[in-house]
Structure 1
Amino acid sequence: MRTILYLMILGLGMSCSNTSKKNDGIEMDSEIKDTVTTESLSTSRMEADLKKKGYQTFSYKAGDTTYLMQQYYMVFLKSGPERSQDSTEAAELQKQHLAHLTRLYEEGYTSLTGPMGDDGDLRGIVVFNTATQKEADSLANLDPMVKAGRLVVEVHPWWVAKGGKLK
């Protein structure tokens, strides 16, 4: 363990020594420049691939970083008009609802899913990673809770940087 820690510190020190200051700015060494160029090419390829598949995207550069933005679809699951199911039927619908959401996630159609923390009209949110709003709406409406009228969906386009993370 001590050896690994030593090697990590040594590697960090060596990587820091590869950059040199020039006037007020920082000059990148050729290895770092190559990495930035490779990242830009990678972003361009990813954007082209997404566009070919019908996704809405755009990219922009801020400093040395290129951001690839993709349109996702945020689905709000709201209380539906039919909430009179008995507890057994409601429990079965909930089981089917969770199975549906799990399948969508496993098949790559969704990125985030979760219930709300209160008992309001908004019951949950699902972020769909689909090429079109129509596809997100269709998949959301296949939910057994929606079919039973216990939930209704509201779909909105949402722009997010590829690779973004919740903090």
Structure 2
Amino acid sequence: MKRALVIFTLSLMLLACKDNTKASQIEKSVSEVSKVTKDSSVANKMDLKPVAPKTIKEIKDELTAKGYKTFDYVDESTQDTIIMQQYFMAFLKKGPIRMQNEEESAKLQKQHLAHLKKMYDLGYADISGPFGDDSDMRGVTIYNVPTLKMADSLANSDPMVIAGRLVIEIHPWWAAKGYLLR
């Protein structure tokens, strides 16, 4: 981190010495150093050159090679090409076996949360959570996997589903690749 700050300071000093330096050049330098220092593995190396972002074609080729379904969407206002990727939304619904005692329910809940964390840590699930009401629909998990079969297998390996406390209903769902939840 200290090395990155020294490089950043030296960059600013060099830029400030030039008579024709524009504010946008300084901002660009600051932005590049900031991007590089966010990744500690890169910041610890002597070569702090920024990595070029992947092209849309490279991203699509990688997804296709892994078996994901995609299509392009062109934003009319910006003319940017947006990659739409198929995800799988798993709805968790009340299951037929809900007579577990309080201790068993607590144990199942702990296992359920550990399963969801594992899915997230392995990159199979992008987001999950419970619904805020007391309906038969208990929660949702969005799986980032190439096939319905894989999403179904992962969702049905949840200890709550195995115990019958929850059942799964899965639907394919399309979303823009790389967009963040707001």
| Shorter-chain TM band | 0.7 to 0.9
How many pairs align? 139
Query: Root-mean-square deviation (CA), in Å?
Result: 2.3
Unaligned runs of 5+ in 1: 16-37
2:74 alignment partner AA: K
Q: 1:61 and 1:12 mapped to 2: Cα distance?
A: 31
Q: TM-score, normalised by structure 1?
A: 0.76
Residue 50 of structure 1 is matched in structure 2 by 63
Aligned pairs for 1:13-162 within 5 A: 42-62=55-75, 63-162=78-177
User: SS at the partner of 1:70?
Assistant: strand
Q: CA deviation at 1:11?
A: 2.8
User: SS at the partner of 2:86?
Assistant: strand
Q: Which has the higher strand share?
A: 1
Q: Percent identity?
A: 50
1:56 alignment partner AA: K
**Regions of 4+ moved over 4 Å:** 12-15
Q: 2:65 and 2:71 mapped to 1: Cα distance?
A: 13
Q: Deviations over 1:9-38 (max 9, x none)?
A: 9338988xxxxxxxxxxxxxxxxxxxxxx8
Q: 1:117 and 1:78 mapped to 2: Cα distance?
A: 13
Q: TM-score, normalised by structure 2?
A: 0.70
Residue 11 of structure 1 is matched in structure 2 by 24
Q: 1:89 and 1:49 mapped to 2: Cα distance?
A: 43
